[in-house]
A and B are shown apart, each in its own frame.
Chain A
Amino acid sequence: AQSVTQLDSQVPVFEEAPVELRCNYSSSVSVYLFWYVQYPNQGLQLLLKYLSGSTLVESINGFEAEFNKSQTSFHLRKPSVHISDTAEYFCAVSPKGDSSYKLIFGSGTRLLVRP
């Protein structure tokens, strides 16, 4: 079985400051890792994903995440946030080789960017 832990339920930060949203997972098998963002009253949008290869993955809007196998982490970072980054961020894993292709989500972290 897999589980995903997002320890921070809310992260307040000032505009243009750096931010890190933490994600740790537990799994007995290798997993694919994802970050999704959800704006109010909307569905989820894929932000970035790690499938294989380079452990550092980037999104088009300045976010990056690094897969750390030894620490079973996939923290999300951005060097300078904008007001528009205010949203709920979900970390998720999907077991490799699982024909169901299920996603197991963390509880989410609300990023609140203040002016």
Chain B
Amino acid sequence: GAVVSQHPSRVICKSGTSVKIECRSLDFQATTMFWYRQFPKQSLMLMATSNEGSKATYEQGVEKDKFLINHASLTLSTLTVTSAHPEDSSFYICSARDGGGMETQYFGPGTRLLVL
């Protein structure tokens, strides 16, 4: 089946630093990738939709200058949390859409970010 990886799985950083999270589709080409944020015991909130070769589309209320998304290839999207603060601590999950099976998103294992 379709596999999506994320790296790192867990990161701890100091307030004010930037953190990059990678999302890769391992066995398929992902024309679209999605970035979600999940707070403890809550559902997933879509942050942005990332299309290969074009600018990401951000959901209302998500700061595009704080959460930089780059989708440079059909198998890689990155999310950079710039100048991270403790309130950015969360579980970040990416998903990828297989252009062939377009109705289905495959999710990565998530990245736990802790900002001290």
Contact = CB atoms under 8 A, between A and B. Distances in A.
**Chain A partners chain B:** yes
Contacts, number: 51
A90 interface: yes
Main secondary structure of the interface of B (DSSP, over half): strand
Contact of B42 (A32, A94, A107): A107
A43 interface: yes
Contacts of B106: 46
A108 B107 contact: no
Interface stretch (B11-19, B67-75, B78-86, B96-104): B96-104
The size class of the interface chain A forms with chain B is 20 to 34
A105 B104 contact: no
B114 to A, nearest CB: 13
B32 interface: yes
A107 B45 CA distance: 10
Interface stretch (A13-21, A75-83, A96-104): A96-104
A70 interface: no
Contacts of A32: 103
Interface of B: 4, 6, 32, 34, 42-44, 46, 49, 57, 93, 95, 97, 102-110, 112
